[in-house]
Amino acid sequence: MHSGGMRRCLGTALVACASLTFFTACSNDQADKSGTFFGPSQSIGNGRVKAYAMLDKFGNPTEVGVRMSAAALDGLPAEDAVPPQMLVLPLPHQASATAFDHVMLNWNSHGHQPVELFGKPHFDIHFYMVNPAAVAGIDPRKPDFATRAAHLPDQKYVPRDYVLPPGSPAENAVPAMGLHWVDATDGLEPRNYDFKQILINGSWDGAYTFVEPMMTREWMLTKQAVQEKVKQPQAYQKNGYYPTTYSVHYDDQAKEYSVALGGMTMRHAS
């Protein structure tokens, strides 16, 4: 082959290689990134529990939650540990674009205050927006505890209909948790309220800090499903994907419960 033909062949080959590289790169950029990703599991009762995140095909988070095996509802302690046992469940890194940092789960063998409302044996599942060190720093032994408790978030950051229970913030603040806000439309009248499952919100020192599903063991054993809209605030304190739905369901095939915050939507701080 003469030199001109060789140059033409070489040029064609280079163009073909470049085109192949371009289309391969495009293909990789458009690869489906959807899936369910898990953090490390821990034992509870006779079973296991772990946090997870779900992504859509573009890699955006759509849901975070916990999966708890059916066996986890058996073999639970009959008495609460002192101090109470709190399982810190790391979220997978795929949840990093959400507002949430980690999940904390604890079992209350005799419920907790106010016992007139929440005295049944139940699980608390805190989806925290702050790191574990910040949570641990909520300590009534610190001299500024009452001041920080009384520093409430601006009302625009509090979800619609959520209010604090009667009493001073310092009296209501729970160590290693903070203040718990309840939905005023949930009918929390001690004489009439039948606690099965509920969605609480939390704050500390001016920041909106957690979303907390609570559910009784008795109700979970019925394997009923629930899906509700999450009430939204008027504004958000930090950028991130926030949930618009809350659900609990039992997967009979996997033999596990799922407690999920879904319908993730991007919000911007304002």
118 and 77 within one domain: yes
Same domain, 17 and 48: no
Whole-angstrom Cα distance, residue 83 to residue 249?
30
Give yes or no: residues 133 and 18 share one domain.
no
Q: Are residues 97 and 231 in the same domain?
A: yes
Beta carbons of 166 and 184 less than 8 angstroms apart: no
Question: How many domains in the chain?
Answer: 2
What phi and psi, each to the nearest 5 degrees, are found at residue 199? Answer: -115, 115
Contact 213, 248 (CB under 8 A): yes
Residues 6 and 75 in one domain: no
Considering only CA atoms, which of 182, 153, 154 is closest in space to residue 166? 182
The chain-wide mean pLDDT, for the chain, equals 91
DSSP string, 72-96: GGSS--SS--SSPP-EEEEPPGGGT
Do 163 and 153 meet the contact criterion of CB atoms below 8 Å apart? no
Please check whether residues 148 and 166 belong to one and the same domain. Answer: yes
- Angle made by CA atoms 87, 93, 99, in degrees to the nearest 5: 75
Residue 84 pLDDT level (bands cut at 50, 70, 90): confident
1 and 44 inside one domain: no
Tens of pLDDT, residues 236-267 = 999 999 999 999 999 999 999 999 999 999 99
The 3-class SS string of 1-17 reads CCHHHHHHHHHHHHHHH
State whether 13 and 68 are in the same domain: no
Radius of gyration of the chain, Cα coordinates, nearest whole angstrom: 24
Name the CA dihedral angle for 124, 117, 232, 220, rounded to a multiple of 10 degrees. 50
Q: Are residues 184 and 237 in the same domain?
A: yes
What local confidence, expressed as pLDDT, does residue 14 receive? 46
Q: Mark out the alpha helices in the chain (DSSP H runs).
A: 3-29, 115-118, 132-136, 145-150, 169-172, 217-221
DSSP letter string, 115-142:
HHHH-SSEEEEEEESS-HHHHHT--TTS
Rounded-to-integer distance, Cα 174 and Cα 133, Å: 16
Q: Does residue 52 sit in the same domain as residue 89?
A: yes
Q: pTM for this structure?
A: 0.88
Residues 59 and 37 in one domain: yes
Look-up: residue for tokens 């030199």?
3
pLDDT per residue as tens digits for the range 17-30: 455 454 444 455 67
Is residue 42 domain-shared with residue 22, that is, in the same domain? Answer: no
Q: 138-164, pLDDT tens digit by residue? A: 999 999 999 999 999 999 999 999 999
Q: Each residue of 95-153: pLDDT tens digit?
A: 999 999 999 999 999 999 899 999 999 999 999 999 999 999 999 999 999 999 999 99
Q: Is the pLDDT of residue 203 over 80?
A: yes
β-bridge mates for residue 37, sequence order: 53
Structural domain boundaries, residue 140: 32-267
